[in-house]
Amino acid sequence: MKSWLVVVITWVILQSSAWAVTFTLDLTSVTETEYSTFLTNIRNNVRDATLVYGGTNIPVVGNNPATTFLRVDLIVSTGTVSLGIRRSDLYVVAYLANNDRNVRRVYYFSGLITSAQLDTLFPEARGAANQQIIKEYEENYASLEKAAKVNRKQAGLGIDKLVKYIAGVNGVARAVPSEAKFILVAVQMVSEATRFGYIQNQVLENFPTAFTPDDKVIILERNWDRISEAIKGSNKGVFPAPVVLKCDGITTTWTVNNATELNMGILKYLGRALLRLVKIDVGNVSVLLVLSLILLIYVGFTLFKSHMVKKATKNH
């Protein structure tokens, strides 16, 4: 009985605290430095410091993290609207705001987060009665743009835009186009700006005013997976062949030869990187090769020792 009690208590503790972390961005007085620090803190929290892709120093999202979701509190003059973000890929899965009766409510995408997880992430709105599934559209850009009745360029980006669209979901009756516009911009200002230093810099260059994102912003947002894969397979960030990036609806293409041109913030987790043997110059034996040989010798010795022990046991 005691052992079961310990298990239950441990499960409750883990469910209530260990898998969520909160970040705050005060939009009423935010500076360029504070916005950059906010994004850096998110990157540092989700990264695996032991992961290196392509011999670069670009952060990589960790696998099987201790925390499952991030909570991002966006403070405006009329209150706080919070985002629920899946830590493994930075997808926005839910948001918390006041409804038109000034009651805290959660709106979320079904299949990306459960009601029990929402209870922990947003304790202000516990229970199914305070949680509403977003059924009118999905979390992808095509669906969001259709529901918002504007595309990403028309919606714009920038601190001022984010504040404007927060007003469309906080303290008012739910309206699908306003909600979709808010999510459309919030995703880019938080998740995409965390993924891409290029998008972060676009915001900073126009800070805090609204601006129209260029084609490169849209192309990057479509290609996080592909870019992460290309950098993982690169040699110190240099691609074996030029990488041509494109996006449906954008006539522009972007050809890049190395990771530096992309100004990445963080890469998607695509598994552990395989050991890569570098070319050996005459008279200069690679340290990596030596370590690999030592590892092979150790494994061989271990297998041989195990075999001899089994043989000796069998003889007895």
- On average, the pLDDT of the chain sits at 87
Residue with the two structure tokens 């020792």: 305
In this structure, are 111 and 256 located in the same domain?
Answer: no
In this structure, are 59 and 119 located in the same domain?
Answer: yes
Q: pLDDT at position 66, please? A: 73
Q: Answer whether residue 232 is part of any domain.
A: yes
Question: Read out DSSP for 132-191?
Answer: EE--SS-SSHHHHHHHHTS-HHHH-BSHHHHHHHHTTTSSS---HHHHHHHHHHHIIIII
Catalytic amino acids?
192
Which carries the bigger pLDDT value, residue 4 or residue 276?
276
CB 264 within 8 A of CB 229: no
147 pLDDT exceeds 60? yes
- Segment among 114-118, 162-166, 277-281 with least mean pLDDT: 277-281
In this structure, are 253 and 293 located in the same domain?
Answer: no
CA distance to 220, 243, 280, 297, per residue, from 239 (Å): 17, 7, 20, 33
- Segment among 73-82, 186-195, 275-284 with least mean pLDDT: 275-284
Q: Answer whether residue 210 is part of any domain.
A: no
CATH no. for residue 80?
Answer: 3.40.420.10
pLDDT in tens, 271-297: 986 544 444 333 444 444 445 555 566
Residue 79 forms beta bridges with which residues? 76
In this structure, are 50 and 172 located in the same domain?
Answer: yes
Q: What angle do CA 77, 80, 81 make, to 5 degrees?
A: 125
Q: How confident is the model at residue 301 (pLDDT cuts 50, 70, 90)?
A: low
Q: Answer whether residue 153 is part of any domain.
A: yes
In this structure, are 234 and 188 located in the same domain?
Answer: no
Number of domains in the chain: 3
In this structure, are 150 and 67 located in the same domain?
Answer: yes
Which carries the bigger pLDDT value, residue 168 or residue 292?
168
**Phi and psi for 76 in degrees, rounded to 5?**
-125, 175
In this structure, are 152 and 248 located in the same domain?
Answer: no
CB 91 within 8 A of CB 191: yes
Task: Give the SS3 label for residue 224.
Answer: helix
CB 146 within 8 A of CB 56: no
What the block records as the tokens of 176 is 């699908």
Percentage above 70 pLDDT, the chain? 80
Residue 187: other Cβ atoms inside 10 A: 21
Mean pLDDT of 59-80: 93
Question: DSSP letter at 270?
Answer: -
Q: Answer whether residue 15 is part of any domain.
A: no
99 pLDDT exceeds 70? yes
In this structure, are 57 and 196 located in the same domain?
Answer: yes
Domain membership of residue 304 as a residue range: 277-316
Residue 78: other Cβ atoms inside 10 A: 14
In this structure, are 162 and 29 located in the same domain?
Answer: yes
260 pLDDT exceeds 80? yes
CA neighbor of 167 nearest in space, from 1, 28, 312 = 28
Residue 71 forms beta bridges with which residues? 22, 84
Residue 13: CA atoms inside 13 Å, Cβ hemisphere, count? 6
Q: Answer whether residue 1 is part of any domain.
A: no
CATH no. for residue 256?
Answer: 4.10.470.10
255 pLDDT exceeds 60? yes
Q: pLDDT at position 303, please? A: 54
Residue 150: other Cβ atoms inside 10 A: 16
Q: Answer whether residue 106 is part of any domain.
A: yes
Question: Which of 205, 232, 247 is a domain's end point?
Answer: 205
pTM: 0.82
In this structure, are 92 and 28 located in the same domain?
Answer: yes
In this structure, are 307 and 251 located in the same domain?
Answer: no
In this structure, are 192 and 55 located in the same domain?
Answer: yes
Q: pLDDT at position 295, please? A: 56
Q: Answer whether residue 52 is part of any domain.
A: yes
Q: pLDDT at position 18, please? A: 39
Query: Whole-angstrom Cα distance, residue 16 to residue 11?
Result: 8
Residue with the two structure tokens 């009985």: 1
117 pLDDT exceeds 90? yes
Q: How confident is the model at residue 252 (pLDDT cuts 50, 70, 90)?
A: very high
12 pLDDT exceeds 90? no
Q: Answer whether residue 284 is part of any domain.
A: yes
- Segment among 53-67, 156-170, 176-190 with least mean pLDDT: 53-67
